[in-house]
Copies of this chain bind each other. A is one copy, B any other.
């Protein structure tokens, strides 16, 4: 007898004595000697459940443990890799100080300074080494754009203190479809942030350890794998570990710039960079054309990568201490100022010493500058390590952003529900794995080259910027709150600027890679919409809005048991079928009429009153005749479901499965598609 279960929805009878299965179950048993009677005490829930405050059952960690051999080992490995499961109750929402938040959220933006200058120069050099003189002017223009965007985002942050993701802002102001365009752009952007940051980080390392250069793709993929495991463990926005790389990088690069300024002011001079002969030859060979407006625009859009990461701060507003929006704004301004200083400083140094980028991408421009100014010493190593570290931290921000955006989208039914599910460590497992897989794929496909990835990168970022700021304009316009004219002006200027840059990116980078993003965004939006369509249709089809208690009373099923031979599994299946319905019928499909006759003769002594139907199958097929037989039964009672009870033998070893006909599996697949059909598997475990 099943004892009353802990959470019972029907009213409890006044005289009912509750037995708490969490504590113990008393079973009266007869003893060994006649007349004996004793009570056996069973604790069914032992340590697998505890009782919640409302009296319900709460599963303990023990329910996750597998007891079997290799599964247990697998669980052990998993625990070693990502740690023990964390209970939902332990979720904490740490609020960040401005100093920590700067480190966490603006690492993405600040770290761009490690490669933005270089990427501009790589384009300019295509028109000859003389064109590199344009580096500093372009850097100044880009810094101005950054100032505009930062000003504009300060307003967005204030307006959306609960999270100013472009997806949310665009959805709120332009509806779901425009929001989805922003979401698609952001998803692509996050994947590329990982790929680009990790590639740039690997470049920082190969600059000082050239031996790793041939293995750069492998190193990059291993870094992504480490980030994935770390995030599956649930590190997320643990500010403290991320503070070090960001501030060390700021101080180290700042120091390099200060040193250069000092030498420059004291009149000591910076000296001229001497590029290896092979580089110059390579650049000469590569110098295809004159410095036209097209090339300048390409260089500008490469440098515009400097603006990536501004989004990260606005995404993270809710994680700031109160007042969130004010602290976030201050941090944004500080980040923009720091970034601009480093970016302009590096560009100025590069221009002053007339550095030439390494055509093989083995050494970064930043490392060339540092090597030129400070030589092969500890400072160079410190700088490169700090660069690699901040770039890894920057990649890590996407590991917070991508799964979070996926969660929002899954919650709104635009992405599969798996993305909304928190794993054993409270991390969004599916999102983290999807991000890692796509980033690794990009790294392999593009050989972990920053220059090859850049054309894909910037378009998504600027599209999201534009939609977000345009949304702000619309919001100001609609609400006409105090100061709305100024708001429209600032956000409008920002939106216009970023829209122009997005067009420049499409124009100048289309052939080299932006076309992929131009195709990917609408495709992604179509997929997101199709997924929501599916979920909506499904809800409409499955949901039970009206309450019709007991409306669906099932008709008594027709029970059939297909049997292959007279053996224990068949007998058990028949016994089960009869326990449900005494009219259950056994069906034997045969291609050997002689065997069937023998079976029919033995049947009455074997299965008593159960009926046996023998169907000869002269074409030796099993499933077709069985389905045809079921159809014939169904015609006689169209309203009754058919319950097919399938005897199944469970071998002890997986390889033994290979020796069996898998007829049961094939049959189940066919029955799954048949309407009004219930399949009951009665497994038989051999007791050896």
Q: How many copies does the complex hold?
A: 2
Are A541 and B556 in touch, CB under 8 angstroms? no
Q: A554-B578, A621-B63, A672-B650 are in contact. Are A636 and B568 (CB under 8 A)?
A: no
- A660–B534 alpha-carbon span in the complex (Å): 11
Interchain CA distance A42-B6 in the complex, whole Å? 50
Judge if A606 is at the interface, Cβ distance under 8 Å: yes
Q: Are B616 and A5 in contact (CB under 8 A)?
A: no
Q: Does A404 contact B (CB under 8 A)?
A: no
Of A606, A619, A625, A631, most B-chain CB atoms within 10 Å? A619
In angstroms, how far is the closest chain B Cβ from the Cβ of A166?
25
Binds B, one of A45-53, A220-228, A490-498, A506-514: A45-53
Contact indicator A606/B547 (Cβ below 8 Å) = yes
Among the 9-residue stretches A266-274, A354-362, A676-684, the one with 4 or more Cβ atoms under 8 Å from chain B is: A676-684
Check B567 against A552 for contact (C-beta < 8 Å): no
Are the CB atoms of A615 and B2 closer together than 8 Å? no
Query: In the complex, which residue of chain B has the Cβ closest to the Cβ of A615?
Result: B57
Task: Please determine whether A614 and B49 come into contact, CB atoms closer than 8 angstroms.
Answer: no
Chain B residue contacts of A1, Cβ below 8 A:
636-637
Query: When chains A and B are docked, how far (Å) is the Cα of A426 from the Cα of B621?
Result: 11
The interface residues of chain B lying within 8 Å CB-to-CB of A685 are: 675
Between A537, A550, A687, the greatest number of chain B beta carbons within 10 A of the residue's beta carbon is seen for A550
Cβ-defined contact, A620 with B688, below 8 A:
no
- B569 near A10: Cβ-Cβ < 8 Å: no
**Interface size, A (range):** 35 or more
Question: Which residues 85-135 of A sit at the B interface, judged by CB distance below 8 A?
Answer: 85-89
Give the distance to chain B from A503, nearest Cβ to Cβ, in Å.
36
State whether the Cβ of A18 lies closer than 8 Å to any Cβ in chain B. no
The smallest beta-carbon distance between A584 and chain B, in angstroms, is 10
In the complex, are the beta carbons of A637 and B2 less than 8 A apart?
yes
Q: Are A543 and B558 in contact (CB under 8 A)?
A: no
Do residues A624 and B59 form an inter-chain contact, with CB atoms below 8 A? yes
Q: Mark A559-595, 1 if CB is under 8 A from B, else 0.
A: 0000000111101100110111001010001010100
Q: In the complex, what distance in Å separates the CA atom of A557 from the CA atom of B685?
A: 17
A293 at the interface (CB under 8 A from B): no
A616 to B, closest residue via Cβ = B58
Docked-complex contact A576 and B678, CB < 8 angstroms: yes
Which residues in window 13-56 of A have CB below 8 A to B? 21, 25, 27, 42, 44-46, 48-49, 52, 54, 56
In the assembled complex, how far is the CB of residue A437 from the closest CB belonging to chain B, in whole angstroms?
15
From known contacts A544-B571, A637-B1, infer whether A88 and B611 are also in contact, taking CB-CB under 8 Å. Answer: no
Pick from A177-185, A383-391, A417-425 the stretch touching chain B.
Answer: A417-425
A519 on the B face (CB < 8 A): no
Residues of chain B with a CB closer than 8 A to A65's CB: 624
| B683 close to A541 (CB less than 8 A) | no
Specify which of A46, A552, A583, A631 lies most central, judged by the most chain B CB atoms within 10 Å of its CB: A552
CB of A223, distance to nearest CB on chain B (Å): 28
- Residue of B68, B89, B624, B658 near A618 (CB, 8 A) is B89
- Chain B residues near A57 (CB-CB < 8 A): 613-616, 629
| Interface pair B541/A686, CB less than 8 Å apart | yes
Could you say which of B59, B607, B628 contacts A63, with CB atoms under 8 Å apart? Answer: B628
Q: Can you list 22 A-B contacts (CB < 8 A)?
A: A2-B558, A5-B585, A7-B612, A9-B603, A49-B625, A49-B629, A52-B593, A56-B616, A59-B616, A64-B619, A86-B619, A417-B661, A423-B620, A537-B686, A538-B649, A541-B686, A542-B684, A544-B568, A553-B575, A576-B678, A650-B673, A678-B680
**Extra contacts besides A2-B558, A8-B611, A52-B616 (18): CB < 8 Å:** A2-B583, A21-B636, A48-B632, A49-B615, A56-B615, A59-B628, A64-B624, A422-B620, A534-B659, A535-B659, A541-B688, A544-B567, A544-B568, A554-B575, A576-B641, A580-B580, A643-B680, A678-B683
